[in-house]
Amino acid sequence: MQHSKPSPTLLARRRRGSGELAVVLIVVLAAGLTAAGAFAVHWKLEAAGAQQQAAREHDEAQRLRAQLGGLQNRTQSLEAQAANPMVSIWNSCGSPCDIGPGRVRLGGVPDTFVLHVTYTATVPVAIYFFGYHQWTQFDDCGLKTSCVTGSYMSYPPATQRDLDFNDATGCAGYVYVMAAAQNGTIQPDLRASYKPADHPTGICAAGGQ
């Protein structure tokens, strides 16, 4: 049997075909690598964007939680104020008020309330909490306590004071009196907070004055 050799033309065609196939494979491989690289870059960008979005959402959640906490505290404060409201007590003279011998500052103490008394004065000022009958005795006696019978609460003269009077929380029958032995001015700030007692207090518990 005899074997014929391929012609030079056929060999050239085979070599050219093999070369073209290699080029095609290289191009396809390069395209695949490029696509893979582009996908990797895109994935990294997507991941970075997702992390940034997650961070923004975390910050927003913290802000909302803080806002909710503030609203809850505000609600609790408003509920406490609604349960025990505090109101200012009108002072007839305005502020500051003249005070001295023969010139006292007085007013009724609201029942079921705690009376908060704060004042500053240019002269020492005493404060008394009388029952109605005791106030009449004090007034009829020329604004002197020597005529007042029974027990009462009082605070000695001072140029400033901050106190709470609780005996009216269960009693409707008190007046407050501010008095000074010297002429001067007083700047009062009186407030009352609602706090009704479940039993008689002060002179009401003692049978009245």
Parse the chain into domains and list their residue ranges.
1-83, 86-205
Q: How many Cβ atoms are within 10 Å of 66's Cβ, its own excluded?
A: 10
Q: How many Cβ atoms are within 10 Å of 18's Cβ, its own excluded?
A: 10
Positive or negative CA dihedral for 23, 29, 32, 37? negative
Closest CA to 88 of 115, 126, 69: 115
Q: Tell me which CATH code domain 86-205 carries.
A: 2.60.120
Strands 153-165 and 105-109: unpaired
The yes-or-no verdict on residue 21 having pLDDT over 70 is no
At 201 the pLDDT is 95
What mean pLDDT is predicted for residues 149-155?
Answer: 96
CB 114 within 8 A of CB 197: no
pTM over 0.75: no
Closest CA to 113 of 186, 194, 33: 194
Q: Which of 19-28, 87-96, 117-126, 187-196 has the lowest mean pLDDT?
A: 19-28
CB 112 within 8 A of CB 174: no
The pLDDT-based confidence of 4 (bands split at 50, 70, 90) is low
The pLDDT-based confidence of 96 (bands split at 50, 70, 90) is confident
